[in-house]
């Protein structure tokens, strides 16, 4: 009996899939003998079909669904200076201010969440620390074609809510003005300045000049902390001209005694160039933010943007290589390195996997939308 029930369920499932236009290699009729290999082939076909459907759903390749901009305001009236809210790893403080209507100079009071020290590294969690911040209202003038369409409501006021989701393709130069390590190691030195303060300045010809057609070669230099007092105790400051093999200090006729110190200086500086390479990067990352425009009255618009620190979510959104210092090893290792003179980036990275599936994108958008719930607006009588 159990075997009969299982077979009935299987046949029912197969019939259901046939109704959903799922093609299987074998179609059975009443009274026909079913062989195991035929059933297994049908199951393999069904598994493949379900995998395709699952991929379509996750990637939303057949996207006829509504977007999450169908946001409905749900007020969260928090206290300025006392309450805070965290969204997508960002801490927001509640602030309150008055603004003046462009229509009649009446006062409008607005509360909204402000990110706490968004760009500071490391980000501060202290509520009293903020980066420089500004927000504004604009006058709605006589150009209706350029005005938003207010299809939402925020705190009782007409509002436009826009989710901005962009897949950014970028090419960036790391350390574009620097020499490579190989170029530095082969550099031609022009001058050594010995300072009695305890350092030597080594000047060399820069093979990556800003101007290619210059009468005089461009030079660069670096300072090396070095104690050379045991070798020479005369003048506190003097210069050695490498090209002429002479010094401005008459008693110095040879540089041989200083070669050990100079070689050590060059070797130490060379190590820094291991991560200070000219390198071109191609990378793709997704940027997600939302814009809110609220009509305080017929002539006054309040605008604000909300976004989040995407480097904490780069496993989903892709890596923005420009977040790293261009002289750091992190930038040097970031995503795809573009070969010299290459302008075809097709094979550099798998761009398809750099775009998160719609369900993930919408998850981030919806979390940002919760910040809108913390916007609370109230008006007052005209003071004009």
Q: Does 339 map to a domain? A: yes
Q: Give pLDDT tens digits for 292-339.
A: 999 999 899 999 999 988 888 988 999 999 999 888 888 989 999 998
Q: Does 70 map to a domain? A: no
DSSP letters spanning 94-114: EEEEEEE-TTT--EEEEEEEE
Tokens at residue 377, please?
A: 């607006």
Q: Can you tell me the distance from the alpha carbon of 320 to that of 358, in angstroms, rounded to the nearest whole number?
A: 20
Q: Do 114 and 54 lie in a common domain? A: no
Q: Does 331 map to a domain? A: yes
Collapsed DSSP state (helix, strand, coil) of residue 267 = helix
Q: Do 310 and 234 lie in a common domain? A: no
Q: Does 73 map to a domain? A: no
Provide the greatest CA pair distance for the chain. 114
Q: Does 64 map to a domain? A: no
Domain final residue pick, 272, 302, 317 = 272
pLDDT at res. 381: 43
Structural domains of the chain, count: 3
Q: Does 291 map to a domain? A: yes
Q: Do 170 and 285 lie in a common domain? A: yes
Q: Do 169 and 240 lie in a common domain? A: no
Q: Do 104 and 218 lie in a common domain? A: no
pLDDT at res. 133: 74
From the list 318, 310, 321, the residue with the least C-alpha distance to 364 is 310
Q: Do 223 and 300 lie in a common domain? A: no
Whole-prediction pTM: 0.65
Q: Do 315 and 298 lie in a common domain? A: yes
Q: Give pLDDT tens digits for 257-301.
A: 999 999 999 999 999 888 777 889 999 999 999 999 999 998 999
Per-residue pLDDT, averaged over 252-258, amounts to: 92
Average pLDDT, whole number, for the chain? 82
Q: Do 189 and 245 lie in a common domain? A: yes
Q: Do 37 and 100 lie in a common domain? A: no
Q: Does 159 map to a domain? A: yes
Q: Do 375 and 287 lie in a common domain? A: yes
Domain final residue pick, 240, 272, 304 = 272
From the list 297, 294, 273, the residue with the least C-alpha distance to 376 is 294
Q: Do 88 and 36 lie in a common domain? A: no
Q: Can you tell me the distance from the alpha carbon of 336 to that of 353, in angstroms, rounded to the nearest whole number?
A: 14
Range of the domain at 327: 84-174+280-379
- The number of beta carbons lying within 10 Å of the beta carbon of residue 356 is 21
Q: Do 265 and 299 lie in a common domain? A: no
Angle (nearest 5°) at CA 227 between 221 and 232: 100
Q: Does 284 map to a domain? A: yes
Contacts 24+ apart (CB under 8 A), 362-368: 362/67, 362/68, 364/88, 364/288, 364/308, 364/313, 365/68, 365/163, 365/165, 365/288, 365/290, 366/68, 367/87, 367/88, 368/87, 368/88, 368/163, 368/288, 368/289, 368/290, 368/306, 368/307, 368/308
Quickly state the pLDDT bin for 383 (edges 50, 70, 90).
very low
Q: Can you tell me the distance from the alpha carbon of 112 to that of 96, in angstroms, rounded to the nearest whole number?
A: 7
Domain final residue pick, 272, 306, 321 = 272
């Amino acid at each position: 009996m159990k075997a009969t029930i299982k077979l009935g369920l299987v046949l029912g499932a197969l019939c259901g899939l046939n109704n959903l236009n799922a093609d299987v290699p074998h179609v059975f009729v009443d009274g026909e003998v079913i062989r195991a290999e035929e059933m297994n082939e049908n199951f393999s076909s069904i598994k493949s079909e379900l995998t395709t459907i699952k991929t379509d759903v996750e990637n939303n390749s057949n996207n006829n669904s509504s977007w999450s901009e169908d946001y409905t305001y749900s007020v969260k009236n928090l206290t300025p200076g006392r309450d805070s809210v965290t969204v997508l790893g960002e801490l927001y403080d509640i602030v309150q201010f008055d603004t003046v209507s462009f229509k009649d100079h009446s006062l409008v009071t607005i509360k909204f969440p402000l990110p706490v020290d968004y760009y500071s590294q490391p980000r501060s969690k202290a509520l009293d620390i903020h980066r420089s911040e500004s927000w504004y209202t604009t006058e709605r003038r006589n150009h209706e074609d350029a005005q938003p369409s207010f299809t939402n409501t925020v705190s009782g006021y007409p509002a436009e809510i826009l989710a901005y989701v962009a897949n950014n393709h970028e090419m960036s130069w790391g350390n574009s003005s620097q020499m490579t390590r190989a170029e530095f190691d082969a550099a031609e030195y022009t001058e050594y300045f010995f300072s009695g303060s305890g350092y030597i300045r080594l000047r060399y010809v820069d093979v990556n000049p800003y101007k290619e057609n210059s009468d005089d070669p461009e030079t660069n230099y670096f300072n090396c902390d070095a104690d050379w007092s045991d070798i020479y105790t005369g003048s506190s400051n003097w210069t050695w001209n490498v090209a002429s093999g002479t010094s401005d200090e008459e008693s110095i006729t040879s540089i041989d005694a200083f070669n050990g110190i100079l070689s050590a200086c060059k070797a130490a500086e060379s190590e820094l160039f291991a991560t200070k390479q000219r390198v071109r990067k191609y990378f793709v990352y997704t940027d997600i933010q939302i814009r809110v425009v609220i009509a305080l009255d017929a002539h006054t618009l309040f605008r604000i943007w909300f976004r989040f620190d995407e480097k904490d979510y780069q496993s989903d959104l892709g890596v923005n290589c420009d977040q790293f210092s261009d002289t750091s090893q992190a930038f040097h290792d970031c995503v795809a390195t573009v070969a010299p003179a290459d302008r075809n980036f097709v094979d550099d990275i798998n761009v398809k996997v750099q775009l998160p599936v719609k369900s993930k994108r919408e998850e981030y958008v919806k979390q940002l939308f919760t910040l809108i719930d913390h916007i609370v607006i109230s008006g007052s009588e005209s003071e004009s």
